Chains A and B, each alone.
Chain A
């Protein structure tokens, strides 16, 4: 059974710092891995999707890496801003699952202090 773990559960940093969020998964048989952002009381915004054949994806100040063999992914946020404060979720789409059957981690709650 696929399990997704995110560390740390919460993180507080001063504005301008570069930071790394970690995600690990137990079964490497995945189609893809996605990083989402969730603001309080809001839905999810997809940030990056990495297909199983890819090693990284970049969007603006965000860079996500994927090491499928070791079951790890990282989300790197450069030059953090207060507007980056949110909960970041990692989710994998596993073999045998449907398109919507994403296995989510519990998230990392990020707070960027001005």
Chain B
């Protein structure tokens, strides 16, 4: 149980285009999902917290107008990288929990490798 599905797993796009990444909780409802990115040889960093039915909360230094997050249902959150540039090339990964609370385990998707040419 507690499977998080993320698509696509890899995407290559041209500079200036937009890319949408989907994160789905397959067998549970997730009122909150989290989006992270990992640059090569760096740690995973939280980008934003996606809340169902309300606006996402972004971490300091993450441009909310560039990284659009939509959490329209209890099982789906999307991250859209708008006007992508080569410096946005990274590994993006989402996570969700079956319930809220600081000691509840997070379940991660398999991630999306974005390459912007």
Contacts and interface: CB of A to CB of B under 8 A. Distances in A.
B93 interface: yes
Interface residues on B, range: 20 to 34
A105 B113 contact: no
Contacts of B103: 31-32, 49, 51, 93
Nearest to A32: B103
Interface string A35-68: 0100001111110010100000000000000000
Contacts, number: 69
A99 B46 contact: no
A13 interface: no
Q: Interface majority SS on A: helix, strand, loop or mixed?
A: strand
A11 interface: no
Given A98-B49, A105-B43, A41 B106 contact: no
A41 B9 contact: yes
A34 interface: yes
B106 A89 contact: no
Nearest to B6: A43
Contact of B34 (A42, A43, A49, A100): A100
A99 B113 contact: no
A72 interface: no
A58 B88 CA distance: 38
Contact of A46 (B42, B57, B93, B105): B105
B97 A99 contact: yes
A51 B101 CA distance: 12
A43 B111 contact: yes
Interface of A: 4, 31-32, 34, 36, 41-46, 49, 51, 89, 91, 93, 98-107
5 contacts: A44-B95, A91-B44, A93-B102, A102-B106, A106-B41
